[in-house]
Amino acid sequence: MSNSIKISCKNLWQLFGKGAAGFLDKHQFNPSDADLESAGLIAAIRDVSFDVHAGEILVIMGLSGSGKSTLVRCMTRLVEPTSGQIMFDGVDLLQASFASLTDIRRRKMGMVFQNFGLLPHRTVLDNVAFPLEIQNVAKETRLAKARELVATVGLEGREHHFPRQLSGGQQQRVGIARSLIGECDVWFLDEPFSALDPLIRREMQDEFVSLQSRLNKSIVFVTHDFDEAVRLGDRIAIMKDGRLAQIGTAEELLLNPANDYVKKFVQHAPRAKLITTRQIMVPAQAGAVSLADEGSHVIKATDVLEKIAQRVIESERALPVVDGAGLLVGQVSREHLARALFQ
């Protein structure tokens, strides 16, 4: 993940109802729930600000009605935000002309939604090539590119099948291939796997991780499944009632929840798979641990607890912890491990 910012959302609001823009001005962009109710307005997005970094998978999650899908649609202006700013590669999308926005969507944005949206009368190959057809790309060129992407998502041999001849997982792969054919910079996925059964869903998550390792896209991924968020995301943004409750890595959300809502949201997270040794180690005590004595039992600060558990449990004493340069930075014992896993 790069430190450069691909998308920056600032003070984003989405109110449904009459006179929404004037209402926000009148209440200095800080209306109460009572103000909204008396005006007959529904707040889908409330003063949301965050960045998406280049090469990052940012997962947006929350319960039904939390605003996560509306937020993604605001980011692409499929839904027109009431107020705020969305910077995309230095361009404010809310100020962009219709023609400019259309060009950005066609050339720089890939979108995949829960409803696959495949054209039933077109083959797999033609469905995947369709975005380039809209751009008037020559037929031979667009079909060649489509064949590459069909192979990338594991559908070789099914190029001439129609959507009705494919399973749900295969149809989803067609949708993913189609979204990538324009060589998009940013990929928006709104609960793309939620309609699939658990086994196919797991397969699609594996495919997704594999694709990202090769393509290194900037991705905004919406889900209501925390396990899926942990598996796919570099960072997770949790929404509640249109507000951004907290954004951070899964480890940060687990160890430092911003409020009781986030704490409850992550309470069943797999701690052993998320917490790193750095979070539980203590300063190394002089004479207590030695890199020379411990050899293969030396633990890295970046190791997750699942990886170090057996070595720590089997050791009668604390084990040394080293940083990326191999320097001693702390020690960890059975007590530290138990406290982190079972507190």
Residue ranges of the domains in the chain? Answer: 5-9+47-270, 273-342
pLDDT at 291: 72
pLDDT along the chain (343 residues), means of 10: 85 94 91 93 96 95 91 93 93 92 87 80 93 88 91 88 89 85 85 78 83 88 90 94 95 93 90 92 78 72 94 90 90 92 79
Architecture of the domain made up of 273-342: Alpha-Beta Complex (3.90)
How many CB atoms neighbour CB 145 within 10 A?
A: 20
Pairing state between β 328-332 and 109-113: unpaired
Q: Is 315 left (phi over 0), alpha (psi -120 to 50) or beta?
A: beta
Distance CA 291, CA 118 (A): 58
Give the contacts of 284 (CB within 8 A, at least 6 positions apart): 320, 321, 328, 329, 330, 331
Taking the whole predicted model, whether its pTM rises above 0.75 is answered as yes
Query: Which has the closest alpha carbon to 165: 109, 106, 122?
Result: 122
319 in Cβ contact with 297 (< 8 Å): yes
Kindly indicate whether the domain formed by 5-9+47-270 is annotated with CATH number 3.40.50.300. yes
Q: How far apart are the first and last CA of the chain?
A: 32
205 in Cβ contact with 193 (< 8 Å): yes
Distance CA 1, CA 218 (A): 9
